[in-house]
Structure 1
Amino acid sequence: MHDIYIELVLSAIQEQYGTESLFYENNLGISDEKWTSWKNGRTTLAPEENQKVKNLFSDYEWMLLQKVLRQTIIYPEKRGVAVSEYRKMKTEIARKWLNIGLGTVEMSQAKEENNANQFLNLRVGIQYDEWGFDDILTFRLPATLQQHLENEQVALLDWVNENLEETYNK
Structure 2
Amino acid sequence: MHTAMVNIILDRIQDQYVSEELFCHDVLDLSIDKWTDWKSGNKPLPTDKMQKIKGLFSDYEWMLIQKIISQTLVFPEKRNFAVMEYKHLKSVIATTWIKSGIAKVELIAEQRFSSEDILTTSQKRVINLRIIMSYDEWGYDDILEFFMPSVVQQQIEESKVDLLEWLDENLVNTYTDKSGNSEENE
* TM-score (ref. length: structure 1): 0.93
What whole-Å deviation, never above 9, does each CA across 1:7-36 have from its counterpart, x for those lacking one? Answer: 111111111213211221111101111111
Q: Does 1:87 align with 2:87?
A: yes
Instruction: Please list, as runs of the form range in 1=range in 2, the aligned pairs for 1:62-141 lying within 5 A after superposition.
Output: 62-110=62-110, 113-115=120-122, 117-141=124-148
What whole-Å deviation, never above 9, does each CA across 1:64-103 have from its counterpart, x for those lacking one? Answer: 0001011111112211111100000000000000001121
The equivalent of 1:168 in structure 2 is 175
Q: Does 1:159 align with 2:161?
A: no
Structure 1 position 55, deviation (Å): 0.9
Q: How many residues align?
A: 170
Residue 109 of structure 2: SS of its match in structure 1? strand
Give, in whole Å, the separation in 1 of the partners of 2:92 and 2:43.
Answer: 35
Structure 1 position 113, deviation (Å): 4.7
Instruction: Single out whichever of 142-151 and 51-60 deviates more from structure 2.
Output: 142-151
Runs of 4 or more consecutive aligned structure 1 residues displaced over 6 Å after TM superposition: none
Residue 169 of structure 1: SS of its match in structure 2? helix
Give, in whole Å, the separation in 1 of the partners of 2:100 and 2:123.
Answer: 37
Structure 2 residues without counterparts, runs of 5 or longer: 112-118, 178-186
Instruction: Please list, as runs of the form range in 1=range in 2, the aligned pairs for 1:6-17 lying within 5 A after superposition.
Output: 6-17=6-17
Note the aligned Cα RMSD (angstroms): 1.6
Q: Which has the bigger relative contact order, CA under 8 A and spacing at least 6?
A: 2
Structure 1 residues without counterparts, runs of 5 or longer: none
